[in-house]
Structure 1
Amino acid sequence: MKRQNYYDRPRKTVEMGMLVLLKKDIYTGAVGALDGTLVHAVVPIDQQARYRGRGKGVCYQNVLAICDFDMIFTFVWAGWEGIAHDSRVLTEVAFNPNSGFPFPPQDKYYLCDAAYTNTRGFMTPYRNTRYWLADFRRQRAVTKEERFNHVHAQLRNVIERAYGVLKARFPILKQMAPYPFPIQRDIVIACFAVHNFIRKCKFYDQLFMDFDENNMFASEEQDNGNEQDEINGVEWGPQGNEYMANLRDHIANQLFLNASN
Protein backbone atom coordinates (compact mmCIF):
# COMPACT_ATOMS: atom_id res chain seq x y z
CA MET A 1 0.00 0.00 0.00
CA LYS A 2 1.40 3.38 -0.98
CA ARG A 3 1.77 5.77 1.93
CA GLN A 4 1.74 9.53 1.74
CA ASN A 5 3.55 12.23 3.62
CA TYR A 6 3.19 15.88 4.51
CA TYR A 7 6.45 17.79 4.71
CA ASP A 8 7.14 21.37 5.64
CA ARG A 9 10.55 22.96 6.13
CA PRO A 10 11.60 23.21 9.81
CA ARG A 11 11.35 26.63 11.44
CA LYS A 12 14.09 28.17 13.53
CA THR A 13 14.20 26.78 17.06
CA VAL A 14 12.10 28.81 19.48
CA GLU A 15 13.95 29.67 22.70
CA MET A 16 11.39 29.54 25.47
CA GLY A 17 11.14 28.33 29.05
CA MET A 18 13.11 25.19 29.77
CA LEU A 19 14.29 25.09 26.15
CA VAL A 20 16.92 27.68 27.07
CA LEU A 21 19.24 24.66 27.22
CA LEU A 22 19.20 24.62 23.43
CA LYS A 23 21.20 27.86 23.27
CA LYS A 24 23.72 27.15 26.04
CA ASP A 25 26.18 25.05 24.06
CA ILE A 26 24.63 21.86 25.39
CA TYR A 27 21.89 20.71 23.02
CA THR A 28 22.82 23.09 20.22
CA GLY A 29 22.54 20.30 17.65
CA ALA A 30 18.92 19.45 18.43
CA VAL A 31 16.59 20.54 15.63
CA GLY A 32 13.40 18.82 16.76
CA ALA A 33 11.84 15.68 18.19
CA LEU A 34 10.78 12.51 16.39
CA ASP A 35 8.25 9.93 17.53
CA GLY A 36 5.40 7.72 16.44
CA THR A 37 1.81 7.85 17.61
CA LEU A 38 -1.24 5.62 17.20
CA VAL A 39 -4.37 6.90 15.47
CA HIS A 40 -7.62 4.95 15.51
CA ALA A 41 -8.35 3.06 12.29
CA VAL A 42 -11.30 1.17 10.83
CA VAL A 43 -10.20 -1.77 8.69
CA PRO A 44 -11.82 -4.95 7.31
CA ILE A 45 -11.97 -7.95 9.63
CA ASP A 46 -9.42 -9.93 7.61
CA GLN A 47 -6.83 -7.13 8.10
CA GLN A 48 -7.46 -6.28 11.74
CA ALA A 49 -4.68 -8.46 13.17
CA ARG A 50 -2.06 -6.18 11.54
CA TYR A 51 -3.65 -3.03 12.92
CA ARG A 52 -4.17 -4.07 16.54
CA GLY A 53 -1.33 -2.00 17.91
CA ARG A 54 0.80 -2.93 20.91
CA GLY A 55 -1.35 -5.71 22.27
CA LYS A 56 -4.56 -3.66 22.32
CA GLY A 57 -7.84 -4.91 20.89
CA VAL A 58 -8.55 -1.67 19.01
CA CYS A 59 -7.20 -1.09 15.49
CA TYR A 60 -4.75 1.74 14.83
CA GLN A 61 -2.56 3.16 12.13
CA ASN A 62 0.97 4.05 13.22
CA VAL A 63 2.00 7.59 12.30
CA LEU A 64 5.60 8.84 12.28
CA ALA A 65 6.18 12.56 12.75
CA ILE A 66 8.87 15.14 13.46
CA CYS A 67 8.19 18.49 15.09
CA ASP A 68 10.32 21.52 15.91
CA PHE A 69 10.47 23.17 19.33
CA ASP A 70 7.50 25.39 18.52
CA MET A 71 5.20 22.35 18.18
CA ILE A 72 5.10 22.69 14.38
CA PHE A 73 5.24 19.37 12.56
CA THR A 74 7.94 19.32 9.89
CA PHE A 75 7.36 15.79 8.60
CA VAL A 76 4.46 13.32 8.79
CA TRP A 77 4.14 9.81 7.36
CA ALA A 78 0.81 8.09 7.94
CA GLY A 79 -0.66 4.71 7.08
CA TRP A 80 1.50 2.10 8.79
CA GLU A 81 -0.14 -0.87 10.48
CA GLY A 82 -0.60 -0.44 14.22
CA ILE A 83 1.44 -3.55 14.96
CA ALA A 84 4.55 -2.07 13.30
CA HIS A 85 7.33 -1.13 15.72
CA ASP A 86 8.36 2.54 15.72
CA SER A 87 11.96 1.64 14.88
CA ARG A 88 10.89 -0.35 11.85
CA VAL A 89 8.66 2.46 10.60
CA LEU A 90 11.51 4.97 10.84
CA THR A 91 13.91 2.66 9.02
CA GLU A 92 11.49 1.98 6.18
CA VAL A 93 10.52 5.63 5.77
CA ALA A 94 14.01 7.11 6.17
CA PHE A 95 15.49 4.89 3.47
CA ASN A 96 12.54 5.15 1.11
CA PRO A 97 13.72 7.47 -1.70
CA ASN A 98 10.13 8.59 -2.31
CA SER A 99 9.38 9.64 1.27
CA GLY A 100 11.23 12.95 1.25
CA PHE A 101 12.45 12.19 4.76
CA PRO A 102 14.35 15.26 6.07
CA PHE A 103 17.61 13.86 7.41
CA PRO A 104 19.16 16.49 9.69
CA PRO A 105 22.44 18.17 8.68
CA GLN A 106 25.67 16.36 9.55
CA ASP A 107 26.09 18.00 12.97
CA LYS A 108 22.39 18.10 13.93
CA TYR A 109 19.99 15.52 15.33
CA TYR A 110 16.43 14.73 16.35
CA LEU A 111 15.59 13.76 19.93
CA CYS A 112 13.98 10.30 20.05
CA ASP A 113 12.94 7.87 22.77
CA ALA A 114 14.53 4.48 23.43
CA ALA A 115 12.43 2.74 20.78
CA TYR A 116 14.92 4.05 18.21
CA THR A 117 18.62 3.57 17.52
CA ASN A 118 21.10 6.04 19.01
CA THR A 119 23.01 6.97 15.87
CA ARG A 120 24.09 9.99 13.85
CA GLY A 121 21.08 12.25 13.38
CA PHE A 122 19.00 10.55 16.10
CA MET A 123 19.79 11.01 19.80
CA THR A 124 18.11 8.66 22.27
CA PRO A 125 18.30 8.39 26.09
CA TYR A 126 20.47 5.94 28.01
CA ARG A 127 18.77 2.57 28.24
CA ASN A 128 18.11 0.78 31.54
CA THR A 129 18.07 4.19 33.26
CA ARG A 130 15.15 6.29 34.49
CA TYR A 131 13.77 8.35 31.63
CA TRP A 132 10.07 9.23 31.66
CA LEU A 133 9.24 12.55 33.30
CA ALA A 134 7.02 10.88 35.88
CA ASP A 135 10.08 8.94 37.06
CA PHE A 136 11.71 12.16 38.31
CA ARG A 137 8.78 13.74 40.13
CA ARG A 138 9.56 12.07 43.45
CA GLN A 139 13.33 11.77 43.20
CA ARG A 140 15.67 14.04 41.27
CA ALA A 141 18.31 12.76 38.88
CA VAL A 142 21.43 11.44 40.64
CA THR A 143 23.86 10.03 38.07
CA LYS A 144 25.06 11.74 34.92
CA GLU A 145 23.00 9.28 32.86
CA GLU A 146 19.86 10.15 34.82
CA ARG A 147 20.60 13.86 34.49
CA PHE A 148 20.97 13.47 30.73
CA ASN A 149 17.79 11.42 30.46
CA HIS A 150 15.77 13.91 32.50
CA VAL A 151 16.77 16.89 30.36
CA HIS A 152 16.39 14.85 27.17
CA ALA A 153 12.86 13.88 28.23
CA GLN A 154 11.96 17.51 29.00
CA LEU A 155 13.08 18.64 25.56
CA ARG A 156 11.67 15.67 23.66
CA ASN A 157 8.34 16.16 25.43
CA VAL A 158 7.55 18.88 22.87
CA ILE A 159 6.33 16.20 20.47
CA GLU A 160 4.15 14.63 23.17
CA ARG A 161 2.59 18.05 23.74
CA ALA A 162 2.17 18.59 20.00
CA TYR A 163 0.39 15.24 19.71
CA GLY A 164 -1.70 16.25 22.72
CA VAL A 165 -2.88 19.44 20.98
CA LEU A 166 -3.53 17.55 17.74
CA LYS A 167 -5.67 14.81 19.31
CA ALA A 168 -7.54 17.21 21.58
CA ARG A 169 -8.46 19.36 18.58
CA PHE A 170 -9.46 16.52 16.25
CA PRO A 171 -11.51 13.83 18.06
CA ILE A 172 -11.72 11.88 14.80
CA LEU A 173 -8.13 10.76 15.45
CA LYS A 174 -9.41 8.85 18.48
CA GLN A 175 -12.59 7.55 16.80
CA MET A 176 -12.09 7.36 13.05
CA ALA A 177 -15.07 7.29 10.69
CA PRO A 178 -15.39 4.14 8.53
CA TYR A 179 -14.03 5.63 5.31
CA PRO A 180 -11.81 3.60 2.94
CA PHE A 181 -8.36 3.36 4.51
CA PRO A 182 -6.62 5.70 2.02
CA ILE A 183 -9.12 8.40 2.99
CA GLN A 184 -8.51 7.72 6.70
CA ARG A 185 -4.81 8.22 6.06
CA ASP A 186 -5.45 11.48 4.21
CA ILE A 187 -7.65 12.73 7.06
CA VAL A 188 -4.73 12.23 9.44
CA ILE A 189 -2.39 14.22 7.19
CA ALA A 190 -4.99 16.99 6.82
CA CYS A 191 -5.28 17.28 10.61
CA PHE A 192 -1.52 17.78 10.88
CA ALA A 193 -1.66 20.46 8.17
CA VAL A 194 -4.45 22.39 9.92
CA HIS A 195 -2.54 22.11 13.21
CA ASN A 196 0.48 23.74 11.55
CA PHE A 197 -1.64 26.46 9.94
CA ILE A 198 -3.10 27.51 13.29
CA ARG A 199 0.31 27.53 14.95
CA LYS A 200 2.07 29.44 12.19
CA CYS A 201 -0.65 32.08 11.94
CA LYS A 202 -0.25 32.75 15.67
CA PHE A 203 -3.99 32.74 16.31
CA TYR A 204 -5.11 33.00 19.92
CA ASP A 205 -5.64 29.33 20.64
CA GLN A 206 -6.47 27.92 24.05
CA LEU A 207 -5.18 24.44 23.25
CA PHE A 208 -1.75 25.69 22.30
CA MET A 209 -1.72 27.96 25.34
CA ASP A 210 -2.55 25.02 27.61
CA PHE A 211 0.10 22.73 26.16
CA ASP A 212 2.68 25.53 25.96
CA GLU A 213 2.86 25.61 29.75
CA ASN A 214 6.21 24.20 30.86
CA ASN A 215 4.66 22.37 33.79
CA MET A 216 2.04 20.66 31.64
CA PHE A 217 3.24 17.39 30.22
CA ALA A 218 1.18 15.37 27.80
CA SER A 219 0.66 11.67 28.29
CA GLU A 220 3.81 9.78 27.34
CA GLU A 221 3.13 6.77 25.15
CA GLN A 222 5.38 3.90 26.15
CA ASP A 223 5.89 0.86 23.95
CA ASN A 224 5.49 -2.34 25.92
CA GLY A 225 6.92 -4.51 23.17
CA ASN A 226 10.39 -6.04 22.97
CA GLU A 227 12.25 -2.99 21.71
CA GLN A 228 15.75 -4.42 21.83
CA ASP A 229 15.04 -7.15 19.28
CA GLU A 230 13.81 -4.55 16.81
CA ILE A 231 16.62 -2.09 17.45
CA ASN A 232 19.34 -4.68 16.90
CA GLY A 233 17.94 -5.37 13.45
CA VAL A 234 18.41 -1.80 12.25
CA GLU A 235 21.59 -1.30 10.22
CA TRP A 236 22.51 2.34 10.75
CA GLY A 237 26.25 1.65 10.67
CA PRO A 238 28.81 1.34 13.50
CA GLN A 239 30.47 4.70 12.80
CA GLY A 240 27.20 6.58 13.18
CA ASN A 241 26.39 4.69 16.38
CA GLU A 242 29.82 5.42 17.87
CA TYR A 243 29.62 9.10 16.92
CA MET A 244 26.29 9.59 18.68
CA ALA A 245 27.32 7.54 21.72
CA ASN A 246 30.35 9.81 22.17
CA LEU A 247 28.27 12.96 21.69
CA ARG A 248 25.69 11.74 24.20
CA ASP A 249 28.43 11.05 26.77
CA HIS A 250 29.87 14.53 26.15
CA ILE A 251 26.51 16.19 26.77
CA ALA A 252 25.90 14.04 29.86
CA ASN A 253 29.26 15.10 31.29
CA GLN A 254 28.47 18.77 30.60
CA LEU A 255 25.09 18.54 32.31
CA PHE A 256 26.51 16.71 35.31
CA LEU A 257 29.34 19.23 35.66
CA ASN A 258 26.93 22.17 35.44
CA ALA A 259 24.70 20.61 38.09
CA SER A 260 27.70 20.15 40.41
CA ASN A 261 28.79 23.79 40.17
Structure 2
Amino acid sequence: MAPYRHVRYWLNDFRSGGRARGREGIFNHYHSRTRNVIERAFGVLKAHFPILKRMSPYSFGMQRNIVIACTTLHNFLRKLSIDDELFLQYDDEDIQLDNDDANQNQILSTNNEFRRADQVFMQQLRDQIANQFL
Protein backbone atom coordinates (compact mmCIF):
# COMPACT_ATOMS: atom_id res chain seq x y z
CA MET A 1 0.00 0.00 0.00
CA ALA A 2 1.53 3.27 -1.10
CA PRO A 3 1.47 6.50 0.90
CA TYR A 4 -0.48 9.49 -0.35
CA ARG A 5 1.40 11.44 -3.01
CA HIS A 6 2.24 15.12 -2.61
CA VAL A 7 1.89 14.84 1.17
CA ARG A 8 4.80 14.76 3.62
CA TYR A 9 6.03 11.21 4.06
CA TRP A 10 9.57 10.78 5.38
CA LEU A 11 10.09 10.83 9.16
CA ASN A 12 12.60 13.68 8.87
CA ASP A 13 9.90 15.78 7.20
CA PHE A 14 7.66 15.32 10.22
CA ARG A 15 10.48 16.05 12.67
CA SER A 16 11.39 19.32 10.99
CA GLY A 17 7.90 20.37 9.93
CA GLY A 18 5.82 19.69 13.02
CA ARG A 19 2.81 17.43 13.48
CA ALA A 20 1.01 15.75 10.62
CA ARG A 21 -2.24 17.42 9.58
CA GLY A 22 -5.30 16.00 7.90
CA ARG A 23 -6.14 12.40 7.29
CA GLU A 24 -3.62 11.99 4.47
CA GLY A 25 -0.78 13.53 6.46
CA ILE A 26 -1.60 11.44 9.52
CA PHE A 27 -1.82 8.29 7.40
CA ASN A 28 1.54 9.03 5.78
CA HIS A 29 3.12 9.64 9.20
CA TYR A 30 1.93 6.28 10.54
CA HIS A 31 2.87 4.57 7.26
CA SER A 32 6.36 6.06 7.47
CA ARG A 33 6.78 5.07 11.12
CA THR A 34 5.63 1.52 10.39
CA ARG A 35 7.93 1.30 7.41
CA ASN A 36 10.82 2.51 9.58
CA VAL A 37 10.18 -0.29 12.10
CA ILE A 38 10.09 -2.87 9.31
CA GLU A 39 13.28 -1.53 7.71
CA ARG A 40 15.08 -1.61 11.07
CA ALA A 41 13.95 -5.22 11.59
CA PHE A 42 15.29 -6.21 8.18
CA GLY A 43 18.43 -4.16 8.84
CA VAL A 44 19.29 -6.06 12.02
CA LEU A 45 18.46 -9.38 10.33
CA LYS A 46 20.80 -8.61 7.43
CA ALA A 47 23.49 -7.38 9.82
CA HIS A 48 23.32 -10.60 11.86
CA PHE A 49 22.95 -12.89 8.86
CA PRO A 50 24.86 -11.52 5.83
CA ILE A 51 23.61 -14.45 3.72
CA LEU A 52 20.32 -12.53 3.47
CA LYS A 53 22.08 -9.86 1.41
CA ARG A 54 23.17 -12.23 -1.36
CA MET A 55 20.89 -15.20 -1.92
CA SER A 56 20.44 -15.06 -5.68
CA PRO A 57 22.21 -18.39 -6.42
CA TYR A 58 19.70 -20.28 -4.28
CA SER A 59 16.31 -21.55 -5.42
CA PHE A 60 13.22 -19.72 -4.21
CA GLY A 61 12.39 -22.56 -1.80
CA MET A 62 15.89 -22.50 -0.32
CA GLN A 63 15.74 -18.69 0.00
CA ARG A 64 12.44 -19.03 1.87
CA ASN A 65 13.96 -21.61 4.23
CA ILE A 66 17.01 -19.42 4.87
CA VAL A 67 14.80 -16.44 5.73
CA ILE A 68 12.68 -18.58 8.08
CA ALA A 69 15.78 -19.99 9.79
CA CYS A 70 17.38 -16.57 10.23
CA THR A 71 14.15 -15.05 11.52
CA THR A 72 13.70 -17.94 13.95
CA LEU A 73 17.23 -17.49 15.30
CA HIS A 74 16.67 -13.73 15.52
CA ASN A 75 13.44 -14.18 17.49
CA PHE A 76 15.09 -16.75 19.76
CA LEU A 77 17.88 -14.30 20.60
CA ARG A 78 15.35 -11.52 21.22
CA LYS A 79 13.26 -13.75 23.46
CA LEU A 80 16.31 -14.60 25.56
CA SER A 81 16.91 -10.85 25.92
CA ILE A 82 20.53 -11.28 25.02
CA ASP A 83 22.20 -7.87 25.01
CA ASP A 84 23.37 -7.53 21.46
CA GLU A 85 25.01 -4.43 20.04
CA LEU A 86 23.10 -4.75 16.76
CA PHE A 87 19.76 -5.03 18.57
CA LEU A 88 20.58 -1.91 20.57
CA GLN A 89 21.69 -0.05 17.45
CA TYR A 90 18.60 -0.91 15.40
CA ASP A 91 16.19 -0.36 18.30
CA ASP A 92 16.94 3.35 18.01
CA GLU A 93 13.97 4.88 16.17
CA ASP A 94 16.13 7.79 15.05
CA ILE A 95 18.55 5.57 13.15
CA GLN A 96 19.11 6.86 9.63
CA LEU A 97 18.91 4.12 7.04
CA ASP A 98 20.78 4.77 3.82
CA ASN A 99 18.14 3.59 1.37
CA ASP A 100 15.34 6.19 1.52
CA ASP A 101 15.71 7.29 -2.11
CA ALA A 102 15.94 3.70 -3.35
CA ASN A 103 12.85 2.79 -1.35
CA GLN A 104 10.87 5.70 -2.77
CA ASN A 105 11.76 4.56 -6.29
CA GLN A 106 10.79 1.01 -5.34
CA ILE A 107 7.40 2.21 -4.09
CA LEU A 108 6.75 4.02 -7.35
CA SER A 109 7.86 1.14 -9.57
CA THR A 110 5.92 -1.41 -7.51
CA ASN A 111 2.77 0.68 -7.87
CA ASN A 112 3.05 0.48 -11.65
CA GLU A 113 3.02 -3.31 -11.57
CA PHE A 114 -0.43 -3.63 -10.00
CA ARG A 115 -3.47 -4.07 -12.16
CA ARG A 116 -5.83 -1.10 -12.17
CA ALA A 117 -8.47 -2.98 -10.12
CA ASP A 118 -5.84 -3.75 -7.48
CA GLN A 119 -4.79 -0.11 -7.39
CA VAL A 120 -8.37 1.04 -6.87
CA PHE A 121 -8.89 -1.52 -4.10
CA MET A 122 -5.70 -0.45 -2.30
CA GLN A 123 -6.58 3.25 -2.63
CA GLN A 124 -10.01 2.58 -1.12
CA LEU A 125 -8.48 0.55 1.69
CA ARG A 126 -5.93 3.30 2.34
CA ASP A 127 -8.79 5.85 2.47
CA GLN A 128 -10.72 3.68 4.94
CA ILE A 129 -7.68 3.41 7.18
CA ALA A 130 -6.97 7.15 6.90
CA ASN A 131 -10.58 7.99 7.80
CA GLN A 132 -10.18 6.09 11.07
CA PHE A 133 -7.50 8.59 12.16
CA LEU A 134 -10.01 11.46 12.23
CA RMSD across the alignment: 3.2
Q: Secondary structure at the match of 1:176?
A: coil
Give the alignment of 1:193-204 within 5 angstroms: 193-204=72-83
Shift of 1:142: 5.9
Match of 2:84 among 163, 180, 205: 205
Match of 1:245 among 122, 127, 132: 127
Aligned partners of 1:176 and 1:184 also within 8 Å? yes
Unpaired segments ≥5 residues, structure 2: none
Tell me, in whole angstroms, the C-alpha distance in 2 between the residues paired with 1:226 and 1:172. 25
| Structure showing the higher helix proportion among its residues | 2
Shift of 1:242: 5.0
Match of 1:227 among 106, 111, 118: 111
| Residues 244/226 of structure 1: CA separation in 2 closer, same or farther (3 Å cut) | closer
Match of 1:157 among 11, 32, 36: 36
Tell me, in whole angstroms, the C-alpha distance in 2 between the residues paired with 1:141 and 1:225. 29
Unpaired segments ≥5 residues, structure 1: 1-112, 115-124, 254-261
- Aligned amino acid, residue 150 of structure 1: H
Tell me, in whole angstroms, the C-alpha distance in 1 between the residues paired with 2:7 and 2:77. 37
Tell me, in whole angstroms, the C-alpha distance in 1 between the residues paired with 2:60 and 2:129. 42
Tell which has more relative contact order, 1 or 2 (C-alpha 8 A, sep 6+).
2
Q: Secondary structure at the match of 1:167?
A: helix
- Aligned amino acid, residue 80 of structure 2: C
1:173 lines up with 2:52 in the alignment: yes
Aligned partners of 1:161 and 1:217 also within 8 Å? no
| Counterpart position of 2:61 | 182
Shift of 1:167: 0.7
Tell me, in whole angstroms, the C-alpha distance in 2 between the residues paired with 1:179 and 1:225. 25
How many residue pairs get matched? Answer: 128
Give the alignment of 1:87-102 within 5 angstroms: none
| Residues 184/139 of structure 1: CA separation in 2 closer, same or farther (3 Å cut) | same
Over residues 124-183 of structure 1, what are the superposed CA-to-partner deviations in whole Å (9 max), with x where a residue is unaligned?
Answer: x33342212244454345642224312331233211110010111111112338455533
Over residues 64-104 of structure 1, what are the superposed CA-to-partner deviations in whole Å (9 max), with x where a residue is unaligned?
Answer: xxxxxxxxxxxxxxxxxxxxxxxxxxxxxxxxxxxxxxxxx
Over residues 29-73 of structure 1, what are the superposed CA-to-partner deviations in whole Å (9 max), with x where a residue is unaligned?
Answer: xxxxxxxxxxxxxxxxxxxxxxxxxxxxxxxxxxxxxxxxxxxxx
Tell me, in whole angstroms, the C-alpha distance in 1 between the residues paired with 2:124 and 2:120. 11
Aligned partners of 2:14 and 2:20 also within 8 Å? no
| Residues 128/158 of structure 1: CA separation in 2 closer, same or farther (3 Å cut) | same
Aligned partners of 1:211 and 1:217 also within 8 Å? no
Tell me, in whole angstroms, the C-alpha distance in 2 between the residues paired with 1:142 and 1:198. 36
Give the share of equivalent positions with the same residue, in percent.
42
